[in-house]
Amino acid sequence: MWSTFIVTMKANLRDKSSLFWLIVFPIALATMFNGVFGNLDQAMSITPVSVAVVEDTNWTNAVGVDTLITAMSGKNGDSGKAQDDSRDVMDIDPGVTLLDVTKVDSVSQARELLSQDKTDGYLKADDDGRIALTLSDNTVTVANNGTQEAGLDVSLSALDNVLDQYNRTSVTVKSVLKDNPTAPATRTFWNGINASMNATKEVTLTNFKPSVMARYYYALMGMACLVAMSYMIHTVTTAQANLSALGIRRTVAPLGRAKQLIAGFLAGWLCSCVCLLVALAYIRYGCGIEVGGREPAAVLAVVVASFMTCAFGTMIGAIPKLTTGVKQGMSTAIACSLSLFSGLYGGFAMELSDLISRKAPLLAAINPAQQVTDLFYSLMYYDTYQPFIRTCAILLAMSAVFLAAGVIMLRRQRYEHL
Amino acid sequence: MTTDTTAVHVSQLVKRYGDMVALDYFDLDVKQGEIFGLLGPNGSGKTTAINCILALLTYDSGTIRVFGQPMTPTSYDLKRRIGIVPQNVAVFNELTVTENIDYFCSLYVPKKAEREPLVEEAIEFAGLQDFRKFRPGKLSGGLLRRLNIACGIAHKPDLIFFDEPTVAVDPQSRNAILEGIQKLNKAGATVIYTSHYMEEVEQICDRILIMDHGRHLALGTADELKAMIDTGERIAIETLDLTDETLAAVRALAFVIEASYDGRELEVRCRRGEHNLVDLIGVLRTSGANIGHLTSRPPSLNDVFLELTGKALRD
């Protein structure tokens, strides 16, 4: 039994076709995803906008403007109090750097920097203390063309929003103080000011920061996992007298077929695990796709998923009267088609996958590719391990069904035909 | 080397594939130590009989005993004494020559220390010393067949089934395989050998069974089989001036089964007889035909085979 295990391992690891589909293919596809989707997260992120600040008399007279700029620069202000104020008033995430500031004394100096492309724009306060942002033509062009500098348009939009809020609040406060100079003494006044400041706030509901692209990589793992069926198809066909000459030779040997199949199964399972772990490692560390900070559980996910695919391969491999080539073709067709419903092939497939999960959850539950995808998805998004454990249980139940069907087909010890 | 102890006993074996009868009350007795030839045209039931003996196929009725014991899929003690060289090459393409032989030997001999000399011996036996690290994909047809044989005999079985082991190999490899089989037999192995090549069966087999349509047609040594048929010698005479009348006179001879003339050579298939050649030459001389080169060949196993199984083409 040990020698059968070792030989099956060697045969699997020397099978170039399987190695291609199980290691090279997912790595190549993950690399492709990385190239295609790599800018997607960046495009949605805020990058610092390089601006010159004209520190003239108007700027010096404007109340709170330095605190605002310091907060948007992501730096501590002159005092800790200023930083605290900025958080309280503007509700700005101190981890976000919106501005990269260069201080100048005059507009002409600021324009000089703009013309030299050293800054994207400049900030200047007017007589009423309102701040205006002036952008260079080049910056506007680049911002309108999202492919050139990912995230610039988002940053400018956010900057514009913050400055607009500052200007409106400043005008409101001045107006109120003019009509009612004692208003700052009341809590209602400050509550009103704060209320007007509250805009959109990012909160985290999931275990880990969501990634638009992660699901594609998880779906890729689902497909790679199903492709690993080929190991067991090969193992079963080469152990069955009615399926191959090699099977005849092995059946005539004095080692029980169950032992040979178990050894083959264990070898196939181990090889699948190793191949999928290589793919997972590349996706996690090569492409930087997170698994919710739960790497050990991701390894367990690979172990469960590869067990399921070996069980699936056992069932396909045991189907009588079909050649090995037909069975291998079937396994590829199954892997490709089920991956469509797990969202591998882009936005449309992802919507289809979501639609199936919502409208026909049973169909999603019996799709092994979807379940393998969900294994990693549940690690990424859910706070508890419960969804992960539930998906593991579904995959193990599937494995039991596949193995039972396989064993029924393999239980014959003698055949009508060879 | 042959003993009276039976290695394989098959009695009244019936195997049907639906309406088709593959083995029709088939009988077989192979003595220990002999090389037993199983001859028959395609579809005659040879491989089916072997697969039934090896407990690979179910059968409808009959008895099969190997070394005196019933053969079942779980007769592991019996299986340890059996080796098989299947018709199709059955090796792992991903393993080297040595790894393949070692693996198949390991199914019979689990201990590595006991196995190593056996594997080495099998490699030498098959003449594969220079190809130990080669994978099957790099071997020629003849070497592949030799690897197939080495995988089947490495564990030194007492009974070896060779199912057409020389198909598609060159004469040198075929000769090496046949000599190897005789060597195995001399070392004590009983061999059951199936083939379409009459000359090699005649060369190595102690006894031959000819079967067709799943039935036992004739059994005996090559000479005994030749004695069973009506066909005697085949006479070929080179003559350039044979007339139609002379050919008709030849065909009219009582011992002539068949006579043909192609303008250069007269070929006559004769019944058994003491004076066939003399009588034939007498007819030719009387007609004035000039006689050139002349050969007379005794009946071959091929004649026996064709007479027993007919000349109709098979699948």
Q: Please provide the DSSP assignment of A203-233 as one string.
A: ---SSS---TTHHHHHHHHHHHHHHTHHHHH
Residue A18 sits in the same domain as residue A87:
no
Please count the other Cβ atoms lying within 10 Å of the Cβ belonging to residue A116.
9
pLDDT at A86: 44
pLDDT at A84: 46
Q: pLDDT tier at B104 (50, 70, 90 boundaries)? A: very high
pLDDT at A379: 85
> Do A254 and B58 count as a contact with CB atoms less than 8 A apart?
no
End-to-end Cα distance, chain A: 25
pLDDT at A80: 43
Q: Mutate which of B13, B56, B99, B153 to disrupt the A interface (most A C-beta within 10 Å)? A: B56
pLDDT at A216 over 70: yes
> Do B86 and A248 count as a contact with CB atoms less than 8 A apart?
yes
Residue A257 sits in the same domain as residue A347:
yes
- Give me the domains of chain B, ranges plus CATH numbers: 6-227 (3.40.50.300), 230-298 (3.30.70.980)
**pLDDT greater at residue B116 or residue A151:** B116
Q: Whole-structure pTM over 0.80, yes or no? A: no
Distance CA B52, CA B32 (A): 19
- B156 vs A209, A222, B50, B148, B188, CA distance in Å? 66, 48, 19, 14, 10
Residue A300 sits in the same domain as residue A356:
yes
> Do B84 and A252 count as a contact with CB atoms less than 8 A apart?
yes
Distance CA B38, CA B46 (A): 7
pLDDT at B297: 87
Residue A193 sits in the same domain as residue A296:
no
Residue A187 sits in the same domain as residue A239:
no
Give the model confidence (pLDDT) of B119-129 as tens digits: 999 999 888 89
- From the list B88, B104, B110, the residue facing A245 with the nearest CB is B88
> Do A414 and B56 count as a contact with CB atoms less than 8 A apart?
yes
- A212 vs A77, A154, A205, B7, CA distance in Å? 35, 17, 15, 72
Q: Please provide the DSSP assignment of A280-342 as one string.
A: HHIIIIIS----TT-HHHHHHHHHHHHHHHHHHHHHHHH-TT--HHHHHHHHHHHHHHHHHHT
Residues in chain A: 418
pLDDT at A205 over 70: no
**Could you tell me if A161 and A131 are in contact, meaning their C-beta atoms sit under 8 angstroms apart?**
no
Number of helices (H) and strands (E) in chain A: give both, helices first. 20, 4
Residue A157 sits in the same domain as residue A190:
yes
pLDDT at A42: 61
**Burial (0-12, 13-18, 19+ Cβ within 10 Å), A209:** exposed
**Could you tell me if A232 and A317 are in contact, meaning their C-beta atoms sit under 8 angstroms apart?**
yes
Phi/psi at B271 (5° precision): -80, 170
Indicate the average pLDDT of chain B.
88
pLDDT at A88 over 50: no
pLDDT at A199: 57
Give the model confidence (pLDDT) of B69-85 as tens digits: 998 888 888 999 999 99
Distance CA A367, CA A359 (A): 14
- From the list A245, A253, A415, the residue facing B86 with the nearest CB is A245
pLDDT at B40: 85
- From the list B57, B88, B102, the residue facing A415 with the nearest CB is B57
For residue B244 the two structure tokens come to 């139609």
Residue A329 belongs to some domain of the structure: yes
pLDDT at A196: 56
> In sequence order, what are the beta bridge partners of A294?
none
Give the model confidence (pLDDT) of A125-158 as tens digits: 888 888 888 888 888 887 776 555 666 777 888 8
> Do B84 and A14 count as a contact with CB atoms less than 8 A apart?
no
Residue found under tokens 């192979």? B30
Among A51-55, A109-113, A301-305, A322-326, the range with the most confident prediction by mean pLDDT is A301-305
Of A142, A167, A197, which residue sits at a domain end?
A197
Residue A263 belongs to some domain of the structure: yes
Side by side, which strands form the sheet with B265-271? B256-261, B265-271, B231-238, B294-297
Residue A240 belongs to some domain of the structure: yes
Residue A371 belongs to some domain of the structure: yes
Q: Mutate which of A249, A250, A415 to disrupt the B interface (most B C-beta within 10 Å)? A: A249
Residue A207 belongs to some domain of the structure: no
Residue A132 belongs to some domain of the structure: yes
> What is the three-state SS of chain B?
CCCCCEEEEEEEEEEEECCEEEEEEEEEEEECCCEEEEECCCCCCHHHHHHHHCCCECCCEEEEEECCEECCCCCHHHHCCEEEECCCCCCCCCCCHHHHHHHHHHCCCCCHHHHHHHHHHHHHHCCCHHHCCCCHHHCCHHHHHHHHHHHHHCCCCCEEEEECCCCCCCHHHHHHHHHHHHHHHHCCCEEEEEECCHHHHHHHCCEEEEEECCEEEEEECHHHHHHHCCEEEEEEEECCCCCHHHHHHHHCCCCEEEEEECCCEEEEEEECCCCHHHHHHHHHHHCCCCCCCEEEECCCHHHHHHHHHCCCCCC
Nearest CA-CA distance, residue A237 and chain B, Å: 12
- From the list B88, B95, B152, the residue facing A11 with the nearest CB is B95
Of A165, A197, A229, which residue sits at a domain end?
A197
pLDDT at B295: 92
ipTM of the complex: 0.79
pLDDT at B9 over 90: yes
Nearest to B301 by CA among B215, B195, B214: B195
Kindly state the DSSP code that residue A21 receives in the 8-state scheme.
I
Nearest to A272 by CA among A301, A294, A243: A301
**What's the number of domains chain A is made of?**
2
Distance CA B208, CA B37 (A): 4
Q: In sequence order, what are the residues at sequence separation of 6 or more whose Cβ sits closer than 8 angstroms to the Cβ of residue B84? A: A248, A249, A252, B54, B152, B160, B161, B163
Give the model confidence (pLDDT) of A153-174 as tens digits: 778 888 888 888 888 888 888 7
pLDDT at A43: 61
Q: Please provide the DSSP assignment of A379-418 as one string.
A: HHH-SSSHHHHHHHHHHHHHHHHHHHHHHHHH--SSBS--
Arithmetic mean of pLDDT, B274-299: 88
pLDDT at B159 over 90: yes
Q: Mutate which of B106, B163, B192 to disrupt the A interface (most A C-beta within 10 Å)? A: B106
> Do B57 and A251 count as a contact with CB atoms less than 8 A apart?
no
Q: Scanning every residue of chain B, which has its alpha carbon at the shortest distance from the alpha carbon of A241?
A: B56
Residue A84 sits in the same domain as residue A142:
yes
Residue A146 sits in the same domain as residue A49:
yes
pLDDT at A112: 87
Nearest CA-CA distance, residue B76 and chain A, Å: 5
> Do A414 and B57 count as a contact with CB atoms less than 8 A apart?
yes
Indicate the average pLDDT of chain A.
82
| 3-class SS of residue A98 | coil
pLDDT at B237 over 50: yes
Residue A125 belongs to some domain of the structure: yes
> Do A252 and B104 count as a contact with CB atoms less than 8 A apart?
no
Arithmetic mean of pLDDT, A226-239: 88
Arithmetic mean of pLDDT, B217-225: 86
pLDDT at A81: 43
Give the model confidence (pLDDT) of A320-368 as tens digits: 888 888 988 999 899 888 888 888 777 778 888 888 888 888 888 889 9
- Boundaries of domain holding A187: 45-197
pLDDT at A295: 87
For A118, the enclosing helix (H) or strand (E) is none
Give the model confidence (pLDDT) of A65-87 as tens digits: 888 888 888 765 444 444 444 44
Distance CA A245, CA A243 (A): 7
Of A164, A197, A230, which residue sits at a domain end?
A197
B14: contact with A, CB 8 A cutoff: no
**Residue A395 is which amino acid?**
L
pLDDT at B1: 52
Q: In sequence order, what are the residues at sequence separation of 6 or more whose Cβ sits closer than 8 angstroms to the Cβ of residue B145? A: B89, B165, B166, B167, B168, B169, B173, B177
Distance CA A168, CA A68 (A): 14
Q: Scanning every residue of chain B, which has its alpha carbon at the shortest distance from the alpha carbon of A6?
A: B103
**Residue A202 is which amino acid?**
E
pLDDT at B122: 92
Residue A172 belongs to some domain of the structure: yes
> Do A246 and B106 count as a contact with CB atoms less than 8 A apart?
no
Residue A3: its chain B contacts at CB < 8 A? 102-103, 106-107, 110
Residue A34 sits in the same domain as residue A119:
no
Arithmetic mean of pLDDT, A314-325: 87
Percent residues over pLDDT 90 in chain A: 14
Residue A65 sits in the same domain as residue A8:
no
Residue A36 sits in the same domain as residue A91:
no
Residue A248: its chain B contacts at CB < 8 A? 51, 56, 84, 86, 90
Residue A249: its chain B contacts at CB < 8 A? 84, 86, 90, 104, 151-152
Among A22-26, A89-93, A331-335, A340-344, the range with the most confident prediction by mean pLDDT is A331-335
Residue A6 sits in the same domain as residue A61:
no
Q: pLDDT tier at A40 (50, 70, 90 boundaries)? A: low
pLDDT at A76: 57
Residue B165: its chain A contacts at CB < 8 A? none
